Copies of this chain bind each other. A is one copy, B any other.
């Protein structure tokens, strides 16, 4: 960590800061420049609060040299992490596709979609039981009943279940019923929820917040890992920008960035980012080409009558066709599907 002192900072102020840090076990290396003095802080600075150092009025700025995350940091864990979901490995050579409807609606619907996506090549079933909606007047999901229907679909197809949790009081139920617990973009910094999930050993699919930096996103993974649960899968689903033609801007450069910074696997959700089914296909192909470890895609057998987000759902036939192309791209870049 680098502490830049203001021009003319009195020696005793520098000393005060240095001594504070030395007393906390850090070493300090000083660089005296033309206009300003710089203090280089040596030690494990990941637990140092940058704001506590900025408080001294003689400090111009404080800059981190090293990322503030440890357990999620590739520097200390050079090989890729592989998360095991009932024997399916996420983060290895094989790319994993999770597919299914935005919302669980009826038993018939979820079983029908589950069978279709399995046939198409999906390895897991996604489907929302608890739905975060911008409007209190929109359909909020079937809730516990939705979890029941997902379990039936799993029995019928053998596909593990991925579904979103919205509050910590449901964790016990999710741990029992669900194979991958999804934390939605809006809850990426719901720290109380993250802490509780860190106490389980369930795989967690952690979506990136709408305006979360890659660092903040990995810090949210660190919250879960700090609690003892290393089974974190990162999921990029579009960030908020000034562009309004697409609902969000899918940030595919997050794939190589995450792979550089962290050892955790990363999957891409092309459905939520664009909000339009005809964009899902090119963006899914692009995600695989860019090195994603998996995809999470909305598929619905009857999008026109979907209770939510039908406009971004693929029909089963298109999904199956897309899977064929994805397989081809995976092969070109040395992966499997």
Which one of A145-153, A199-207, A214-222 is at the B interface? A214-222
Which A residues between 1 and 53 are near B, CB-CB below 8 angstroms? 2, 4, 7, 29, 31-36, 38, 40, 42-44, 46-47, 49, 51-52
CA distance A42 to B36 in the complex (A): 9
**How many copies are assembled?**
4
Which A residues between 225 and 260 are near B, CB-CB below 8 angstroms? 226-227, 239-246, 249-253, 255-257, 260
CA distance A154 to B56 in the complex (A): 30
Q: Is A304 an interface residue (CB 8 A)?
A: yes
Report the minimum CB–CB distance from A35 to chain B (whole Å): 6
- A182-193, CB under 8 A of B: which get 1 and which 0? 000011011111
Of B241, B283, B313, which is within 8 A of A241 by CB?
B241
Which A residues between 152 and 185 are near B, CB-CB below 8 angstroms? 166-169
CA distance A31 to B132 in the complex (A): 34
Residues of A in contact with B, size category:
35 or more
Interface class of chain A by DSSP: mixed
Of B33, B249, B251, which is within 8 A of A40 by CB?
B33
CB neighbours (8 Å) of A210 from chain B are 211
Q: Is A320 an interface residue (CB 8 A)?
A: no
Which one of A88-96, A106-114, A121-129, A288-296 is at the B interface? A288-296
Q: Are A246 and B257 in contact (CB under 8 A)?
A: yes
Of B242, B245, B252, which is within 8 A of A286 by CB?
B252
Q: Are B257 and A245 in contact (CB under 8 A)?
A: yes
Q: Is A308 an interface residue (CB 8 A)?
A: yes
Residue from A34, A167, A227 having most chain B Cβ neighbours under 10 A: A167
Report the minimum CB–CB distance from A291 to chain B (whole Å): 5
Q: Are A31 and B34 in contact (CB under 8 A)?
A: no
CB neighbours (8 Å) of A332 from chain B are 325, 328-329, 332
Of B55, B75, B257, B283, which is within 8 A of A253 by CB?
B283
* 23 A-B pairs in the complex with CB atoms less than 8 angstroms apart: A2-B38, A2-B63, A31-B42, A35-B75, A51-B275, A52-B308, A55-B304, A56-B304, A68-B135, A68-B137, A132-B191, A133-B191, A135-B222, A136-B222, A136-B226, A167-B190, A168-B169, A214-B243, A239-B242, A241-B251, A242-B242, A253-B274, A285-B290
Q: List chain A positions with a Cβ less than 8 A from chain B.
A: 2, 4, 7, 29, 31-36, 38, 40, 42-44, 46-47, 49, 51-52, 54-56, 61, 63, 65-66, 68, 75, 132-139, 166-169, 186-187, 189-193, 195, 210-211, 213-216, 219, 222-223, 226-227, 239-246, 249-253, 255-257, 260-261, 273-275, 278-279, 282-283, 285-291, 303-304, 306-313, 325, 328-329, 332-333
Given contacts A2-B2, A33-B66, A49-B308, 12 further A-B contacts (CB under 8 A): A55-B311, A135-B219, A136-B227, A169-B169, A239-B241, A239-B249, A246-B253, A252-B282, A253-B274, A260-B278, A328-B332, A329-B332
